[in-house]
Amino acid sequence: EPREDGVVRAELGMVQVLGRLALSAGILAVAGLSGWVAAILTREKVFLLALIVPAVSLAGAFFASEKGVERRPIDWRILLGGIAFGSAVVAIGLLRVPFGQEIIFLLSMAVVCTMLVFVTSGVAPDHRRAIFFSAIIIFAFRATPGVGDGYFWWTIDVLKFDETFYGILRQTAAIISVIVLWMFSKQLTEYSIPAVLFWLTVLGTILSLPNVGLYYGLHEWTEANFGFGARSIAIVDAATSSPFVQLSMVPLLALIAYYAPPGKRATWFALMASLMNLALVAGQLFTKYLNEYFVVARGEYSELGALLLCAIAAGFLIPVITIALLGRKVAR
């Protein structure tokens, strides 16, 4: 029996909320421990301990019950395209081709977009256009640049943050993420997805400003006038801004689930996951270019302020402009 569109969207959104809650709970379980372990063990031992997590996942696979499913014929276009792409990426990496990262990114985009065309070939034109606009919004939202390692180095060298304190920050962020995800589950699942993404972008930008303030001496002023300094500001900033990473994933994943073509959902989810990861790669390339222009090295932080401002501005303008241009088409 057909159900209302709003009900379907809300249910898909709630599935994503529960998934992000499970992920946040996992992060919460190890966030504080990670800082403590990093402070007393070498990096090699920390990474060896981290292998316990995939080992648990592999063990769980043996207990999963199998249900009979209908086998579908192999889509040779997808299979051969993937093999050709993988071979090209390996060759570029081994041969150390100049601008190899950029070439691999463009090849990846071409392959993923071509496969998306194949997967959606049987979809109605209106639905296909909505998928196209949704993919652009998802890509733009994820393709925003970061600051790079310069700010992390600065907090260690200048503000004297250490591994234990970063563990406290991660623990605080994980706790707040779980609480906020649960509190705002209704808004995330029932409101317009472009509107949710827009306001998450706006709030995320506002809450990133304390990092700029710390660089320009905000902590010195608050210490002199209110009695709290850099660490207190960092904890408050982590508590307020941390949920937005998990919150933003809920509407993105709900959008992907809603537009999944019948009969090709597994391939669709794999391709959209690849597209979201490519958006992160685009953001990393953007971050690299910003760091090449604003040079920030260990112990040399004179250009860190300009880098922070440019990264925050780009992180706001890229998704907001895209949502303003295409959001109504997705909402319809």
- Residues 253-280 have pLDDT tens digits of 777 777 777 777 777 888 888 888 898 8
The structure's pTM equals 0.76
**Domain at 206, CATH number:** 1.20.1250.20
pLDDT above 60: residue 85:
yes
pLDDT per residue over 102-151, tens digit each?
898 998 888 888 888 888 887 778 878 877 888 888 888 888 898 888 88
Cβ atoms of 264 and 77 closer than 8 Å: no
| N-terminal to C-terminal alpha carbon distance within the chain | 23
pLDDT at 286: 93
State the greatest distance between any 2 C-alpha atoms of the chain, in Å, as a whole number: 70
Neighbouring CB atoms inside 10 A of 294's CB total: 20
**Separation of alpha carbons 324 and 303, rounded Å:** 32
Highest averaged pLDDT of the listed ranges 26-30, 146-150, 166-170, 316-320: 316-320
Residue 160 covered by a domain: yes
Structural domain count, the chain = 1
The answer to whether residue 321 sits within a structural domain is yes
Nearest to 181 by CA among 231, 125, 243, 267: 243
User: Domain range holding 209?
Assistant: 5-38+120-331
Is the confidence at residue 3, as pLDDT, over 70? no
Tell me how far apart the alpha carbons of residues 298 and 159 are, in angstroms, rounded to a whole number.
14
> In this model, does residue 332 exceed pLDDT 60?
no
| Within a domain: 54 | no
Percentage with pLDDT > 70 across the chain: 82
10-47 pLDDT, tens digit each: 666 676 677 766 766 776 666 656 666 766 777 777 77
Token pair in block for residue 127: 């639905």
Alpha-carbon distances, residue 286 vs 101, 142, 145 (angstroms): 12, 12, 5
Whether 57 maps to a domain, the answer reads no
Roughly what angle, to the nearest 10 degrees, separates helices 265-293 and 304-331? Answer: 150
- pLDDT band for 321, please (50, 70, 90 cuts): very high
75 is a domain residue: no
Answer yes or no: is 95 within a domain: no
Q: How many Å apart are CA 206 and CA 203, to the nearest integer?
A: 5
- Copy the structure tokens of residue 66: 């199998």
